[in-house]
Copies of this chain bind each other. A is one copy, B any other.
Amino acid sequence: MSRITIFEVGPRDGLQNEKQPVSLEDKLWFTRGLVQAGARELEIGAFVRAERVPQMADTDALYAALAGKTGGLGKARAWALVPNEKGLERAAAAGARNIAVFTAATDGFANANIGMTVRESLALYKTLIPQARKLGMRVRGYVSTAFGCPYEGKVAPAKALKVIDQLLKWDVEQVSVGDTIGVATPGDVTKLMGPLMKRVRGKAALKVAGHFHDTRGTALANALQALELGVTTLDSSAGGLGGCPYAPGATGNLATEDLVYLLHGMGLKTGFDLDALSTLSVEMSRRMNRALTSRYVAAWAAGRARAAAAKSAPKGSAP
């Protein structure tokens, strides 16, 4: 294991809760910048009802602008959430090749997030996934609240595994195991992802991703634990943008920069250019008028400010 795939969720998960509309132009600029900074798997939007998530209303337009050789995606794969058949139709019409379906380990969260029980959502995906596969699409599955739920508390590993197993059986490209409210600690990661990784040994290990939130500061420690269990794909959001609107207190996606810094420091490759990525996140946060939560970016920006101050200081001045 010398290369880790970072699944960048910033353009979707990072933006979807912003009340101030982010322009299509800024979304395009952000997405293309992420590709230039090294992202190869990007979640850029959601084919959901515009009145439900206004910020994602222009996902179709985003796909149109990114299409083709000059669209700016290059070799990167764009992904978008699809909640139902209507969403799948829109995804197909927009030319989406990679979609994500989403459920949860707990009914409490599933009800709040998608208005269905877990069982109901799986019944839906049982037909939706084959439909998408027939259209030649890759399908990713999200299992939220895999460690803890804002409505039901701690989640037993067996409960989350049952949902994950079901999705894996349905020929999904990958299941992303989500600590939606950021309550997991490394022991929890081992209890859930240890058995899971044993089931998907070898190349099939690509079938599992870890999606950790930094709400209580544990995301990188959990990511480290997942790596040690053989996980090779980790979800994160540039600058640490985003969270989840239906999980009270669930601020804090793991910041891509913090993750890249850790991985590069451990001699692992990600394909990301950390300077380019940090520059992008800082400018995006300026355009969104929103503070970033990435600790790496804060240290990086402070370092740049000091370097600039030192450079502009008149010669011979006292330090």
Residues on A facing B (Cβ under 8 Å): 182, 184-188, 214-218, 220-221, 223-225, 248-249, 251-252, 255, 258, 261-262, 264-267, 294-296, 298-299, 302-303, 306
* CB–CB A299/B249 < 8 A: yes
* A295 with B214: CB separation less than 8 A: yes
CB neighbours of A266 from chain B (8 A): 185-187
> How far is it, in angstroms, between the C-alpha of A302 and the C-alpha of B295 when the chains are bound?
20
- A306 lies within 8 A of B216 (CB): no
Given A217-B296, A262-B218 in contact, is the A302-B252 Cβ separation under 8 Å? Answer: no
Q: Chain B residues near A224 (CB, 8 Å)? A: 186, 221, 224-225
Q: Within the complex, what minimum Cβ distance (angstroms) separates A142 from chain B?
A: 22
CB distance from A294 to the nearest CB of B (A): 7
CB pair A217–B187 under 8 Å, yes or no, is no
How many Å lie between the Cα of A217 and that of B249 in the bound state?
20
Q: By the criterion CB–CB under 8 Å, are A252 and B185 in contact?
A: no
Q: A4 to B186: give the CA distance in the assembly, Å.
A: 16
Chain A interface, >50% SS class:
helix
Closest 7 CB pairs of A and B: A185-B265, A217-B295, A217-B258, A187-B266, A220-B221, A216-B296, A221-B224
A291 to chain B, nearest CB (A): 11
Distance (Å) between the CB of A315 and the closest chain B CB?
20
Q: Can you show 9 pairs from A to B with CB atoms below 8 A apart?
A: A185-B266, A186-B224, A187-B266, A217-B220, A221-B223, A221-B224, A248-B306, A249-B303, A251-B298
Residue contact A221 to B187, C-beta cutoff 8 Å? no
Chain B residues within 8 Å of A265, by CB: 184-188, 218
Q: When chains A and B are docked, how far (Å) is the Cα of A308 from the Cα of B115? A: 27
Contact present for A217 and B302 (CB under 8 Å) = no
CB distance from A221 to the nearest CB of B (A): 4
Instruction: Give the complex CA separation of A248 and B214 in angstroms.
Output: 25
Chain B residues near A221 (CB, 8 Å)?
220-221, 223-224, 262
Bound-state CA distance A262–B188 (Å) is 10
